[in-house]
Amino acid sequence: MQGSANGNDNRPLVLVVDDCQDVHRLLRARLRQEDVELVPATSGAEGLTLAKSRQPAVVLLDLDMPAMDGFEVLRVLKNDPATVHIPVIVLSGLHSPQDKVTAFDLGAIDYITKPFELTELRVRVRSALRLHQLVQMLATKAQIDGLTGLWNRAFFERRWAEEHARFARHAHPLSVAFIDVDHFKSVNDTYGHPAGDAVLVGLASTLQRECRSNDVVCRYGGEEFVVIMPDTTPSDAAQVLERIRAVLAETSWSRHPERRVTFSAGVAGASGGAMVTPEQWVELADKNLYAAKRAGRDRVVVTDMGALRAAAAA
């Protein structure tokens, strides 16, 4: 998830969009004791750029600005998926009831008229910060698998799109691995669903422990898991999966100590540039997973897409 902090500073960012420098100086003085970092923008266009790049916890927005007024800024913020959830407090010298109605209709959560009272401003900013924190918590929870505590499929799809775009820009190595528990239905049928759940939780724990810090481990669905491996060549990814496979094979399970659990895995990766869509990449990893199943299970099948391209060009 994207945070609202800047670098190593964990204070929430408050973006102030106002064309008046006096307002920026006043807010710096009035909010100096609050545990926030103020980020100034003196035009609507600058405010939109900063909102998207810095992801502030709250936006304080003036309405009466040249070129692009606050209503247009608010409209753009609330129409962009990247900024729609950022709470916006309007700070305006416009007192018309219709201006207030328009601001709220466009998505503002509060409207404070200038000149503002210090205590009221602080309380309303604190309230907006609490709202932002709650939204962030709910957004994170919605992307976490309830059984294993791993990221879920929705998170995988968003993160995979981001990593693929990064790969397309910079041609850094990238691999993705699909993992499926072998004979999982048999575990459920023989020992019961609690035993099957214990296997899923145990495999999730093993993956989290054995994968590298920059790997992204997700539960894809059922007994299937997926690992995004940034800056990782296909051969390196295969080595990581082989190590994890060996660790799991030696694991003893309290509900069925006489039966070991294994997995099959399919890896698709590239050491450099490859003209492959995100969907094609995932499809190849999934095909490799089923190739591992057909070959006898308890193994890793890997494809280097760069090697495939070189062979096709030869």
Strands (E) located in 102-181: 110-113, 174-181
Look at residue 235 and give its three-state secondary structure. helix
Give the count of beta carbons closer than 10 Å to the beta carbon of residue 230. 18
223 is catalytic: yes
* Token representation of residue 169: 């820009």
pLDDT at residue 2 is higher than 60: no
**pLDDT (tens digit, 9 = 90+) per residue, 133-175?**
888 888 788 899 999 999 999 999 999 999 999 998 888 999 9
Predicted local confidence at residue 309, as pLDDT: 55
Task: Choose which CATH entry (2.60.120.10, 3.30.465.10, 3.40.50.2300, 3.40.50.300) describes domain 13-141.
Answer: 3.40.50.2300
Amino acid at 87: P
Architecture of domain 153-313: 2-Layer Sandwich (3.30)
Average pLDDT (193-197) is 95
Predicted local confidence at residue 33, as pLDDT: 84
Cα distance between residue 227 and residue 234, in whole Å: 12
Peptide bond into 66 cis (omega under 30): no
Count CA atoms within 13 Å of residue 111 on its CB side.
21
pLDDT at residue 313 is higher than 70: no
Cα distance between residue 264 and residue 108, in whole Å: 50
Q: Which of 37, 163, 223, 224 is catalytic?
A: 223
pLDDT band at 9 (very low <50, low <70, confident <90, very high): low
Domain ranges of the chain: 13-141, 153-313
Phi, psi of 15, rounded to the nearest 5 degrees:
-90, 125
